[in-house]
Structure 1
Amino acid sequence: TWVDGEFLAERDIHGWAQMPVWLPPTGETAGFHRTHIDRAARAGLTTRPVEDTIRDTLEWLDGWLPEIKESRGFEYKPGENAAGVTREREEEVLAEWHARDG
């Protein structure tokens, strides 16, 4: 379900925080995810499955030196850290979104 960015912000759900990778298509972030990669693809750019990127990013975070983790105020804990909103919060916001139209 598509939900308006302002509606999400009113419920304290923001791009790049509670909504990883998503940024609202307005204001300073307008067009952020609309970059054409045609030229790069013609030059040989390849992509890989998002699952691989996520797995490798988590492994990379886990490999940070403890002092770096501490200085950034972050430590990845498998099963504890999660990106985005909880499933319960998502369901709540979607119910509000669908209810607004009556």
Structure 2
Amino acid sequence: MESVRELASKKAAVIFTKSSCCMCHSIKALFYELGASPAVHELDQDVRGTEMERALKGLGCNPSVPAVFIGGEFIGSAKDVISLHVDGSLKERLINAKAIWF
């Protein structure tokens, strides 16, 4: 759990994903479209991936990926991120965390 929290706090925007997950790809594309350059951790390509996936589930991530952190705070999964984007607050959170500048 500590390694996930540490990785999540190292950059303004962090996404835990799996390379084969289409929703993960969509969330990454959304962040890139908004001008963010998130740290992306592909759990299926990391030797500690299984351990990190368990930790993410312990934080309430269900499904475990994509798991999005902004400013070190757990935001949620794809559904949560899309809801924030639709209501306009995702961009605001990214600006406040200094993941994007406007």
Q: Please tell me the TM-score bracket, short chain as reference.
A: under 0.3
Using the size of structure 1 for normalisation, the TM-score is: 0.24
The structure number with the bigger radius of gyration is 1
